[in-house]
Amino acid sequence: MDLRLTPSEEQFRDELRAWLQQNVPPPWRGGVAAEEENQGYIQYLRDWQRQVYEGGWAGISWPKEYGGRGASLIEQAIYQEEMARAQAPPLLNLIGLSIIGPTIISHGTEEQKKRYLVKILSGEEIWCQGFSEPNAGSDVAALETRAVRDGDYFLVNGQKIWTSYAHIADWSFLLVRTDPNVPKHKGLTALLVDMKSPGITVRPLKQMTGEAGFNEIFFSNVRVPVANVFGQINEGWRMAIAILMNERANVGTGIYIAIKRELDALIARARQTLRLSCPASQDPVVRQKLAQAYMELEIFRLNTNRALSRMSKEGHPGPEGSILKLCYSEQQQRMQQTAMEALGAYAQLRDFDAGRWGYGYLRSRGATIAAGTSEILRNILAERVLGLPKSY
Amino acid sequence: MDLNLTPEEQQFRDELRSWLQANVPPPWRGKTGEEESGEYLEYLRTWQRKVYEAGWAGISWPKEYGGRGARLIEQAIFQEEWARAEAPPLINVLGLQLIGPTIIAAGTEEQKKRFLPKILSAEEIWCQGFSEPNAGSDVASLQTKAVRDGDYFIINGQKIWTSLAQVADWILLLVRTDPDAPKHKGITALLVDMHSPGITVRPLRQMTGEAGFNEVFFSNVRVPVSHVLGEINKGWQTAITTLMNERANLGAGNYILFKRNLDALIARSREITRFSRKASEDPLIRQKLAQAYLELEIFRLNNMRALSRMNKDSVPGPEGSILKIYWSEMNQRMQQTAMETLGPYGQLTDLDGGRWVYSYLRSRANTIEAGTSEILRNIVAERVLGLPKSY
Amino acid sequence: MDFDLSKAQKLLQESARTFLMRECPAERVRELMETETAYDEQLWRAMAEQGWTGLIIPEEYGGLGLGLVELAVVAEEMGRACLPSPFISTVWATALIDSAGSEGQKAQYLEKISAGEMKATVALLESTADWNVQAVQLSAQREGKEYRLSGRKEFVTDAQIADLIICVARSGSELVLLPIQRDAQGMTITATPGIDATRKLYAVDFDGVRVPVAEALQLHPQTEEAFEQATRVATATLCAEMLGGMQWTLETTVEYAKTRQQFGRPIGTYQAVQHQCADMLLMTESARSAVYYAAWTVSEETKEARQAVSIAKAYCSDAAREVGNRGIQLHGGIGFTWEHNLHLYYKRAKGSEIMFGDANYHREQLARLVVDESEG
């Protein structure tokens, strides 16, 4: 074990730090609460991502030939920390960058890699992921959206739900049923679907926060070329597992960047906000909770780094990798509750800090549901890591 | 809803209060680790006899069997007054809280006359023989066998985790009388004299270091058929009555203990120094003590509501499981608070006769005994909320 | 950067595990905890032969000159075995001598410690039960070439068998670290039995104990900082030991959940059980990240060391207890018996939670570093 950076890692860090110092844009001043539906904010993030890409700082561990930097997972970890340190804005094409891109790299054809990866990095094409359906939540394999072969095309009919970014996405990584007569895991196919295809309707779903963060997508006779099959026909479940693993291991998503920014802002706020006649940051009880939030986030960072170290040697994350999603989603919820307590009566005001605390508080409730509920993740840990018998 | 006491209830309370004032003995000064000490048991026995003779045992039990014939509300008042007076607990707790009520519900007239008064006077201490090594949460899979031999049953098998077995005179025993029937349908409940030939009690040492519970072995033990409680092969119903009483009542009795414990902790926090100041002046500790206080108060109110309900419906329902989950987990949090309050002193086994270390460790069993929290949550989900069966 | 044990470190881990399984199985732990001092001279010698007592001692003083990561690897295995020994106490004293002692003092003490000929401990806490070194009040009256020590220390681990007790005292406003041999005149050691019988606690009374001024560990004016550095070393080591206990509890519980049958199948089939096992894993692995990070930062003396140690101790204090809670719960009745080994680990976890300050204390230390403006 050696946590020192190697000379080349150090050089990477210094270059990145210098670049960030020059290029991080002034913070977004509009409301962040509405971020998922705010066009101005989305444009701001798109511009930022293009800038990152052009500076050569997108896709740190992706191969060079597809626009990445060809660096190691360790550099990917350094990247996260530096981005957080510089208070850089988050990256918009999160699903493309953290989930779909890595899956295309590991399982896609050469052609697919060439076609899609660069535009994911540049933010030119935003991606979303179409797995969940009204009757296929934790039990994803029960999905019913049908794709019927018609010559060189599949005709897709059905509905997806809880699809983040669908309203701005150019492409969707879609899971459909191509063979209804075999056991549920065996009749699925993964398709890369152009969201501008005729027959696709996106309907925003209003979240409890009041914003439309996710969507329903309806498919009515949507034609998808067979060339857009990802992996093999009827082997979609394997692709889905690859996607879910990337999603949960959450390596390189920038989730740390987002949470760290939130925590830094909270601590700064706590120093200024009076509650019970003294700054929140001086209240012994609030201090305990802020320290706890800091500690939990730091442990998430360390768990991530351990997983990356393991992955860079063994190609897959160890047990610490499987707990990352549980770790950050629950940390976030506790941290947002701490924010509510620390900021006292102010926290509830919609106009206080552009409503970010109320929004963050409510939004965090989704964290333990999206990308695998905490319950499903605990089952997976129990069965796959600890070797307990299957429970369902 | 009316939380004021009626004039009769008020009179009951005043009478009890003045009796307690005159009669509560000086507190036990010996070491904690209570279940083991013979002297301590004698102290408690003497106390319960006194309570019984003055007419304060079995508040809600029928008068003809030695009870007071009052209602459950008076029972609740009794608990609070008891705590308030810092009176010692009653030793025959299983007899009073679980077995007595089960005999009242399922026993014959003869059984009631024979057993109930002696439960109240503590002349006969009771224990409960349900769990076996392979029948823990899954009680109905028990294997202790009873074979009919004329007017007797011959019993062979083993029970485990039996509290008070080392001093008990009687045991409420669940045995399998029909091994060929589905597991819930071949069980019978028996009232068994612990002094019968063929019974061996072996103490099990707890993690606290004391022998609080026991294994009980049965080797050709003869039990008269007249000691069947309820009907042959319908013991599961009898067991359910006991378990419901256990979950609903045990905690109510425990209120006295919890309250005494918290009062002592708060008093201690004013004296003990950690991190260079009095624990009671530390804002974090204040939060935790206040939390413990409010949780205990809610427990008291939960009990009052449950009793009000039972007063009308007479039998405790599966809601008792909620009470059990609540008090067991509450006590564990309270004991952790005690440890944090006392700081480094909390770990010393000589501090206050070892009560803090003992209570801390003992509390870990609370979420296991009388139904694990996991099983009780299943019961609440299925029987109270109507969710489908999970196992 | 490589956040995984190296080959050599894994080898050390394996050999420590094998050694402790052989030399200190649970039956031996139980025997030792029933003795007055929970100390086994032969075992200590054998540990010294493994090089453990001199693991972090520079080679010039007969040690192995390894870092804290290696120390953590070994301490984790000790926790896994619930080893009763004055190891943590001695590590604390060793680090203190190393950071505050003169060359002569290092030669005098560290060589003996390396060789397994000297066990040592540190006397810090007083009746104020305060882990802040600033709170130390015990008086060391300067009289010519001697200090005269008077007062009482509490919660001193392994004092009865320590050959050397380093007493943290105050001479005027100045902090002094005074090494005292066990046969010193005027020192009385009284056992104060605690919940964890595998690590004994004592009160130590000083009644005019004389210590030559020249023997004090001197490092003016940074005595306080030297003390804190040494305490960080000991705290990180303790956290590693706590981690080992968590790992044992996790593995033992998962094994039980796979084999214990109720309602006709293993209890590990039930989600209520599975989810608690998953939580135990989450806590154990998170503790592992925190522990090894703390060990590394302290070893390298990076600027993150202070917060890393407070994070590790705060997290482990809560997590070790909670893993124990779940372990007992999932075992049911058998987990609450004296016969099962769970309680040995559970009680050790409680003692360790308190040692060097509990989670509340370390969260406050962390808040001073990351919440207060001056440091932020």
Across the interface, whether the CB atoms of C333 and B207 are under 8 A apart is answered no
Give dist(CA A19, CA B374) in Å, integer. Answer: 54
Q: Could you give the count of Cα atoms lying within 13 Å of A19 in the half-sphere of its Cβ?
A: 17
Catalytic member of B34, B74, B246, B295: B246
Look at residues C68, C158, C83 and name the one whose alpha carbon lies nearest to residue C122: C158
Mean pLDDT lowest among A144-158, A271-285, C156-170: A271-285
CA pseudo-torsion sign B167, B169, B173, B178: positive
Q: What percent of chain B has pLDDT over 70?
A: 96
CA-CA distances (angstroms) from residue B97 to A366, B53, B237?
45, 19, 17
Which of A206-210, A333-337, B228-232, B281-285 shows the lowest per-residue confidence on average (mean pLDDT)? A206-210
pLDDT confidence band for C122 (50 / 70 / 90): very high
- Whether pLDDT at C42 is above 80: yes
Beta bridge partners of B171: B127, B192
Mean pLDDT value across residues B161-175: 95
Q: Which chains touch C (3 or more CB pairs under 8 A)?
A: A, B
pLDDT in tens, B131-159: 999 999 999 999 999 999 999 999 999 99
Q: What is the pLDDT of residue A387?
A: 94
What's the rounded Cα separation, in Å, for the pair C16 and C8?
12
Chain C residues inside the 8 Å CB shell of B368? 328-329, 332-333, 335-336
Average pLDDT, stretch B344-369?
94
Contact B275 C321 (CB under 8 A): no
User: Any chain B CB within 8 A of the CB of A274?
Assistant: no
Name the helix (H) or strand (E) containing A39.
Answer: helix A39-54
Average pLDDT over residues A195-210: 92
User: Nearest Cβ partner of C281 from A292, A299, A386?
Assistant: A386
Q: What are the chain A neighbours of B284 within 8 Å (beta carbons)? A: 284-285, 288
Q: Which of A13-17, B18-22, B381-385 has the lowest mean pLDDT?
A: B381-385
Question: What ipTM does this complex have?
Answer: 0.91
Tokens of A303: 């768990």
- Report the C-alpha dihedral over residues A53, A58, A61, A62, rounded to 10 degrees: -50
What does the CA dihedral A360, A363, A366, A370 come to, rounded to 10 degrees? -90
Structure pTM? 0.91
C residues 276..305 contacting A (CB < 8 A): 277-279, 281-282, 285-286, 288-290, 292-293, 296-297, 300
Nearest 5°: the CA angle C13, C299, C52 is: 40
Q: How far apart are CA B10 and CA C123, in angstroms?
A: 58
Determine, for residues A309 and C279 on separate chains, whether the beta-carbon distance falls below 8 Å.
Answer: no
Mean pLDDT, rounded, for B310-327? 79
Measured CA to CA, the distance from residue A342 to residue A331 in angstroms comes to 16
Q: What is the pLDDT of residue A308?
A: 85
What one-letter code names the amino acid at A215?
A: N
Is B295 known to be catalytic?
A: no
pLDDT (average), residues B62-87: 88
Secondary structure of residue C157 in the 3-state scheme: strand
Asked if residue C349 lies in contact with residue C245, where contact means CB atoms within 8 angstroms, the answer is yes
Q: How far apart (Å, rounded) are the C-alpha atoms in residues C14 and B69?
A: 69
* CB contact (8 A) between residue C194 and residue B347: yes
Judge contact between A37 and A212, C-beta under 8 A.
yes
8-state DSSP, A137? S
Question: Hey, what amino acid is at B222?
Answer: R
Residue B35 in this model has a pLDDT that exceeds 60: no
Report the 3 state secondary structure along C236-279: HHHHHHHHHHHHHHHHHHHHHHHHCEECCEEHHHCHHHHHHHHH
Residue of B nearest to C136 (CA): B276
pLDDT on residue B36: 56
- Per residue in C235-277, pLDDT tens? 999 999 999 999 999 999 999 999 999 999 999 999 999 999 9
Whether residue C192 lies within 8 A of chain B, CB to CB, comes out as yes
The reported pLDDT for the residue numbered C375 is 45
pLDDT at B34: 53
Catalytic residue among A211, A247, A262, A320: A247
Interface probe with C: pick from A302, A331, A368, most Cβ of C within 10 Å: A302
Quote the DSSP letter at residue B351.
G
Whether the upstream peptide bond of residue B203 has omega within 30° of 0, thus cis, is: no
Q: Is the pLDDT of residue C282 over 80?
A: yes
**What part of A 275-294 touches B (C-beta under 8 Å)?**
283-285, 288
Overall average pLDDT of the A158-170 stretch: 93
Q: Assign A210 to helix, strand or coil.
A: coil
Per-residue pLDDT tens over the stretch C285-296:
999 999 999 999
Q: Which of C3, C243, C292 to mutate to test the interface with A (most CBs of A within 10 A)?
A: C3
Mutation target among B214, B374, B376 for the C interface, most CBs of C within 10 A: B374
Does residue C345 sit at the B interface (CB-CB below 8 Å)? no
Contacts of B364 (CB under 8 A, 6+ apart): B207, B332, C325, C328, C329, C336, C346
Closest CA to A32 of A368, A365, A352, A370: A352
Any chains having at least 3 CB pairs less than 8 A from chain B are: A, C
**Residue in the block written with tokens 């933010």:** A123
pLDDT at B51: 95
Distance between CA atoms of residues A258 and A87, nearest Å: 9
Please spell the DSSP secondary structure of A175-200, one letter per residue.
EEES-TTS-GGGSEEEEEEETTSTTE
Residue B347 DSSP one-character state: G
Q: Which residues of B touch A (CB under 8 A)?
A: 282-284, 287
Task: List the structure tokens of B6.
Answer: 């009626």
* Tokens encoding C195: 């919940």
Q: Specify which of A210-224, A250-264, C30-44 reaches the highest per-range mean pLDDT.
A: C30-44
Instruction: Give me the amino acid identity at B164.
Output: L
The CA–CA distances, whole Å, from C162 to B355, C27, C45, C75, C183 equal 30, 24, 14, 19, 10
Q: CA B254, CA B111: separation in Å to the nearest integer?
A: 27
- pLDDT tens for each residue of C300-315: 999 999 999 999 999 9
Contact B198, B221 (CB under 8 A): yes
Q: What is the pLDDT of residue B14?
A: 96
Q: The tokens 């210094």 sit on which residue?
A: A14
Q: What 3-state class would DSSP assign to B4?
A: coil
Compute the distance between CA of residue A363 and CA of residue A30 in angstroms, rounded to an integer.
Answer: 18
Q: Nearest CB to C195: which of B161, B332, B349?
A: B349
Minimal CA–CA distance to C168: which of C183, C156, C184, C160? C156
**Reduced 3-state DSSP string for B166-216:** CCCCEEEEEEECCCCCCHHHCEEEEEEECCCCCEEEEEECECCCCCCEEEE
B193–chain A nearest CA distance, Å: 43
C-alpha span between A89 and B257 (Å, rounded)? 56
Residue B195 class from Cβ within 10 Å (0-12 exposed, 13-18 middle, 19+ buried)?
Answer: exposed
Instruction: Using CB atoms, pick whichever of A4, A386, A389 lies closest to residue C266.
Output: A389
A388 close contact with C: CB closer than 8 A:
yes
Helix (H) / strand (E) containing C336? none
Q: How confident is the model at residue A162 (pLDDT cuts 50, 70, 90)?
A: very high
Q: How confident is the model at residue A32 (pLDDT cuts 50, 70, 90)?
A: low
Which amino acid, one-letter code, is at B374? E
Q: Report chain C's mean pLDDT, rounded to a whole number.
A: 96
Least confident residue range of A194-198, A376-380, C105-109, C137-141:
A376-380
| Burial of B247: CB neighbours in 10 Å, binned 0-12, 13-18, 19+ | buried
Rounded Cα gap, residues B235 and B241, in angstroms? 10
The predicted structure's pLDDT at residue A250? 57
Q: Which residue in A282, A283, A285 has the most chain B C-beta atoms within 10 A of its own C-beta, making it the best mutation to test that interface?
A: A285
Least trusted range by pLDDT, from B22-31, C199-208, C343-352: B22-31
Give the DSSP letter of residue B284. Answer: H
What is the C-alpha separation between C283 and C317, in angstroms, rounded? Answer: 11
| Nearest chain C residue to B328, by CA | C329
What value does the mean pLDDT of chain A take?
90
- DSSP-assigned states of every residue in A320-383: HHHTHHHHHHHHHHHHHHHHHHHHGGGGG-TTGGGGHHHHHHHHHGGGGTTTS-HHHHHHHIII
Residue C343 to chain A, least CA–CA distance (Å): 22
Range of lowest pLDDT (A237-246, A261-270, A283-292, C330-339): A237-246
Residues of B in contact with A284 (CB under 8 A): 282-284
Instruction: Round to whole Å and give the CA distance between A45 and C342.
Output: 53
Report which of A26, A77, A71 is spatially closest to residue A47, judged by C-alpha positions. A26
Contact call for residues B119 and B108 (beta carbons, < 8 A): no
Nearest residue of chain B to residue A282 (CA atoms): B283
Can you tell me the distance from the alpha carbon of A295 to that of A297, in angstroms, rounded to the nearest whole number? 5
Q: What is the Cα–Cα distance from A307 to A249, expressed in whole angstroms?
A: 8
- Matching residue, tokens 């360390």: A302
Q: Nearest CA to A211 among A340, A363, A357?
A: A363
pLDDT bracket for residue B26 (50, 70, 90): confident
Closest chain C residue to the Cα of B353, Cα to Cα? C193
Residues 357-376 of B with CB under 8 A from C: 357, 360-361, 364-365, 367-369, 372-374
- Number of B:C CB contacts under 8 A? 125
The single-letter code of the amino acid at C253 is T
In terms of Cα–Cα distance, which of A341, A250, A247 is closest to A293?
A341
Q: Which amino acid is at B237?
A: Q
Q: Dump pLDDT digits (tens) for C45-60.
A: 999 999 999 999 999 9
pLDDT (0 to 100) of residue C7: 94
Number of inter-chain CB pairs under 8 A, A vs C: 163
Q: What is the model's pLDDT at position A251? A: 56
Helix axes C7-23, C41-49, angle to 10 degrees: 160
Give the three-class secondary structure for A126. Answer: coil
pLDDT band at C230 (very low <50, low <70, confident <90, very high): very high
Q: Model confidence at B2, in pLDDT bands (50, 70, 90)?
A: confident
- pLDDT-based confidence at C376, cuts 50/70/90? very low
Contact across the interface for B207 and C343, Cβ inside 8 Å: yes
